[in-house]
Structure 1
Amino acid sequence: MNKLAESLYALAIAVWVGGLVAIGYLAAPVLFAQLSDRTLAGNLAGTMFSAVAWVGLGAGAYLLLYLLVRRGWRAFKSSVLWIVLAMAALTVAGHFGIQPILAQLKADALPRAVMESALRDRFATWHGVSSGLYLVQTLLGLWLVIWQERGKR
């Protein structure tokens, strides 16, 4: 059972961080480069970002549970636990905080595309905040990949 838990720990990190990198730095840029309809590209990218957020929340929950069961209260002295908590907090902030703001700005701009409306600057600002948080989350994820063995000790 211990080997299964360790394997799931490594898999959760791989899926979460791999998803962040694949969607944010491969799939989304390709969508915008290849699709002439930027609204469609944005909607598809948004759907993928939402999926990776839910994967992250599930993976983060498992990682936190694994670390707490494995190390007990000593887990709070582990940098791995704090990285996972920070990544989970950024996921929550992005998915439940910033994404609804972006969706509301898009809705308020209708029937025009948000980037062709008076709300363009606000949307761009919030999109920039979202992108910055996503970058920090990805960098933390890469750090987690490098330090994942520390969580097993």
Structure 2
Amino acid sequence: MHHIRTQRIFSLISGLWVGGFIAIGFLVIPILFSSLGDRQVAGMVAANLFKVTAYAGVVISSLLMVMASVLVRHELSRYRSMRWILLGMLACAVGAAFILIPWMNSLRDQALYSGLSVRESSYAVLFGRLHGASSILFMIQALLGLALVWRATKNAD
């Protein structure tokens, strides 16, 4: 009976996490850029939102991996594949939180130190590439998240 509660908590956490993640990336951030007149300010706010989302992703995907492992030990084999999905999501979150976001923030800070926006600086090309890589990582994580929620809410056969 304990594993049924764990399954429900797993589904609840994964649904809230992925829903919030997708809402921030595909709703909040675009609204920020369209509403604020200053793209530099919008970019700085977006960077903070993505940083918090990435750190939360590291913590939540790790927690869900532990929960999935407990459920696998209770012979719920459908959670085996969910661990692989979560591992992919964890890799994306780690890459964003500890590599791409700090690197992009560093470039932004160096440009601001020179009195320029990052788009006006000599770092613009590199920043654009990192932004593209970050966007791809976010899309992969969003797709993996949708797959996770889909599998987590599937009725047991």
- Report 1:1-153 matches (<5 A): 1-72=2-73, 78-110=80-112, 111-149=115-153
Q: Name the TM-score, length of structure 1 as normaliser.
A: 0.89
Using the TM superposition, give the Cα deviation of residue 109 of structure 1 relative to its aligned residue in structure 2, in angstroms: 1.1
Q: Tell me how far apart the structure 2 counterparts of residues 138 and 58 of structure 1 sit (CA, whole Å).
A: 16
Q: Which residue identity lines up with residue 8 of structure 1 in the other structure? A: I
Gaps of 5+ in 1: none
- Alpha-carbon distance change, 67 to 114 in structure 1, aligned in 2, over 3 angstroms: same
Q: Tell me how far apart the structure 1 counterparts of residues 132 and 45 of structure 2 sit (CA, whole Å).
A: 18
Question: What is the root-mean-square deviation in Å for CA atoms of aligned residues?
Answer: 2.3
Contact 2:92 2:138 (8 Å CA) reproduced: yes
Using the TM superposition, give the Cα deviation of residue 7 of structure 1 relative to its aligned residue in structure 2, in angstroms: 2.7
Deviates more, 1:12-21 or 1:129-138: 12-21
Using the TM superposition, give the Cα deviation of residue 88 of structure 1 relative to its aligned residue in structure 2, in angstroms: 0.7
Q: Tell me how far apart the structure 1 counterparts of residues 42 and 137 of structure 2 sit (CA, whole Å).
A: 21
Gaps of 5+ in 2: none
Using the TM superposition, give the Cα deviation of residue 4 of structure 1 relative to its aligned residue in structure 2, in angstroms: 3.6
Using the TM superposition, give the Cα deviation of residue 83 of structure 1 relative to its aligned residue in structure 2, in angstroms: 0.3
Q: Which residue identity lines up with residue 132 of structure 1 in the other structure? A: I
Residue deviations 1:27-81 (CA, integer Å, cap 9, x gap): 0011001111111101111111122222222221221111111213976982211
Q: Name the TM-score, length of structure 2 as normaliser.
A: 0.87
Q: Tell me how far apart the structure 2 counterparts of residues 139 and 80 of structure 1 sit (CA, whole Å).
A: 13
Q: Which residue identity lines up with residue 139 of structure 1 in the other structure? A: L
Deviates more, 1:101-110 or 1:133-142: 101-110
Q: Tell me how far apart the structure 2 counterparts of residues 36 and 86 of structure 1 sit (CA, whole Å).
A: 36
Count of residues in Structure 1 that have an aligned counterpart in Structure 2? 153
Moved beyond 4 Å, runs of 4+ = 73-77, 149-153
Q: Tell me how far apart the structure 1 counterparts of residues 139 and 59 of structure 2 sit (CA, whole Å).
A: 20
Residue deviations 1:102-127 (CA, integer Å, cap 9, x gap): 01111221221101112111110110
* Percentage identity across paired residues of the two chains: 33
